[in-house]
Amino acid sequence: MVLNIIKYFRSSVFAKNVAVVMSGTAVAQIVSFGMTPVISRFFTPSDFGVFGSFNAVLIVICAAVTLQYSQAIMLPKDDKDAINVFAISIASVILVTLIVSLVVFITSTMLTSLVKIDSSYFLLWLLPLGIFLNGLNQSFQAWCIRRKAFSRTSVSQVIRAISMNISQISLGIFRIGGIGLISGSVFGDGMATISVARFFFKNDYSQMRHAIKWQKMKEMVVEYRDFPMFSSPQNVFNALSQGLPVLLLGYFYGVAVAGSYAFGSRILQAPMAFVLVALRQVLFQKASEAYNSGQKLYPLYLKTTGGLFAIAIIPSVVLFIWAPSIFSLIFGSKWYMAGDYARWLVLWLAFLFCNLPSTLFAAILRQQRNLFFYEIVVLITRTSALVIGGLFFSAKESIIMFSIAGCLLNLVYIFWIGNLVRKKSGESISNIEEKSFSKIGAESEF
């Protein structure tokens, strides 16, 4: 079965589109991974603790910055409807950025304590800037994906990786700590956003801007209201469950432990992004297209999820056994602890890697309400693991509890959405497998 999945991936038009995006992802990951051993020698675990705390706050807000209307851009059949959803997404970004700027101005003391940058108040103003750039990037990326401009999204990844890493290394030379990591990351986001925005203004703006109407935007707000009502809070809860480890580990064990966790997680998620960034773009476009045309979704769900499991298993075993030694060898002896944490994080991240089709198909099937409640359970479970660990156990034991909880929750999530997609397809698993995999290799596209 695994060989059939791999053969299908290699032979389909779907795979060719994935390859276009993956080529850019590959270059971006090579650049990032190649420069990380240099960056790791300019910055300490404490510096990465500051960077991780800042990012934890950033990703939570960015999870709701478009109110998830960026995800809805893919769904309308008519481009005139889609451009109005795009306009709603941009308006949401502007509104959220203004609100955050006001909050930063009013609650600066609390925020400096939360992100561990007490001596760098001015860096707080990088928070609304980072949110604004991230929101624009989400919106323009979604438009490019709708237009099947995968090469443009691919180039933007390369631009972000090069600009971020070069700027971080340049600032790291001056040993300015977490400030350098944060500033470099925001700069990279800005350069990537400019890249995808250029495609829109060059190819679509002049033709589509006249289709943007207040009345139509109001209709689209109502039509896709389940995204801000359920999908956006769900994304925020998901971001909280990912960002809380850095904040809670910093609170219970100190910023160095939080930095080691953040660094280990960053290194593990880099190769994951190599596959997932490309697959997310192409799969969401293809699955939305299939759904709109009345095609059955379960064969596509089965192939992509099974393929991700096949990809993940060997690297996960290798890292679980040798991660501490690998981290010490490549990044320096001060990162041994990060490798030890990474060994256990593999349990969670391997299943997180495999749940991408579940997330995309759940959005297409408009399961935002159910996912909202699921994410509440995830947040409570994972937070409880960290708090109980922080009160009664060591940092390593807390991370193990957190990772096992994440592993089990993602496994439930994958089977839950898979069963839902199967029911929507109206076929039994056995019938679908027989029909799908008997034709693998003969098909040229989904």
pLDDT digits 0-9 by tens, 46-60: 899 889 888 988 999
Rounded Cα distance between 321 and 340, Å, is: 10
pLDDT of residue 441: 38
Q: Which residues of 280-297 are buried (b: 16+ CB within 10 A; e: fewer)?
A: bbbbbbbbbebbeeeebb
Residues 6 or more apart in contact with residue 445 via CB below 8 angstroms: 12, 13, 14
Rounded Cα distance between 434 and 432, Å, is: 5
Query: Tokens for 419?
Result: 């069963």
Residues 6 or more apart in contact with residue 415 via CB below 8 angstroms: none
Give the confidence band of 151 by pLDDT, cuts at 50, 70, 90.
confident
Contact 427, 298 (CB under 8 A): yes
pLDDT digits 0-9 by tens, 177-204: 888 999 999 999 999 999 999 999 988 8
Contact 178, 239 (CB under 8 A): no
Distances (CA, A) of 241 to 8, 320, 381, 383, 384: 35, 22, 9, 7, 11
pLDDT digits 0-9 by tens, 380-423: 999 999 999 999 999 999 999 999 999 999 999 999 999 988 88
Distances (CA, A) of 256 to 80, 391, 432: 51, 18, 50
% of the chain beyond a pLDDT of 90:
42
Domain residue extents for the chain: 2-437
Give the confidence band of 23 by pLDDT, cuts at 50, 70, 90.
low
Mean pLDDT estimate for the chain:
83
Distances (CA, A) of 427 to 63, 278, 307: 35, 29, 21
